[in-house]
Structure 1
């Protein structure tokens, strides 16, 4: 895969609002592991290798278990995720696949029961943001670090 464009080099100023939003997510009341699991799950759905690798590495660096990362695409069948994580992951899938899901009321009701209104907004913005990052990385064919290392060799 050949990178089409280095978007950060081409227009760094255009990414400043998105980077500031990422800081907002990092400093929010949402648990770090929940934020990264949401990012990883959306990236899996979208097939974004760059983002899958980045969020997997971040989760590992913060002590996340390999089992939870490996079973993420089957989270419904695993007991390794909290009720809050399950609600967030269901909302992630519903919004990432909104053309098919229509963001069902039942999924939203689970989010509304476990997240106060401000966190509902944070979670929804987080899901929107990772979907945007995925589309940027996929659209410009941003290589993940292992691909960059292999190409350099």
Structure 2
């Protein structure tokens, strides 16, 4: 693997902060681990972070998600494999990741049907954090190699 730089080695305190945020998200208890992994997978697909797509697919599998559901994440809008709350979470993740200002109110209203304010806040940080990890991975990675980073 070839890297331009690595945040872990070249900015270790910032890497530690990002890692701590990820651990806090996953230990927050407000959202199921499987949903967090599927959101991480979907956002990584949108952002094109191959390393993250692989890693979050494996994490989703480990959390009990089926191969069929993992494969369907990329086309979640056309799949009947996801529950209404998962669909609302995917729509929120896509709205934030794609910066769709015109869709934020509708996506938020749908989230409110399924999640508490605390869960919506946690989901928002989940989306922000995986977007940050994706961008770090893409920045430090030299094209044609796998991205090496922990998320």
Q: Which TM-score applies when normalising by structure 1?
A: 0.87
Match of 1:140 in 2: 140
Kindly state the Cα deviation for residue 129 of structure 1 after the two structures are TM-superposed: 0.5
Contact 1:53/1:144 (<8 A) preserved: no
Deviations 1:72-104 (A, max 9, x none): 111111111111110000000000000xx2143
Compute the RMSD of aligned alpha carbons.
1.7
Task: Give me the whole-angstrom Cα distance separating, in 1, the residues matched to 2:62 and 2:35.
Answer: 14
Deviations 1:21-51 (A, max 9, x none): 1111111220001100110000000000111
Contact 2:34/2:64 (<8 A) preserved: no
2:132 is the counterpart of 1:118: no
Task: Give me the whole-angstrom Cα distance separating, in 2, the residues matched to 1:63 and 1:34.
Answer: 10
Match of 1:151 in 2: none
Deviations 1:88-139 (A, max 9, x none): 00000000000xx214311110111211011111110110010000000001
Give 5+ residue unaligned stretches, structure 1. 148-153
Contact 1:51/1:134 (<8 A) preserved: yes
Q: Which TM-score applies when normalising by structure 2?
A: 0.88
State the 4+ residue runs in structure 1 displaced beyond 4 angstroms: none
Mapping of 1:57-136 within 5 angstroms? 57-98=58-99, 101-102=100-101, 103-136=103-136
Contact 1:39/1:55 (<8 A) preserved: yes
Q: How many residues align?
A: 144
Task: Give me the whole-angstrom Cα distance separating, in 2, the residues matched to 1:95 and 1:84.
Answer: 17
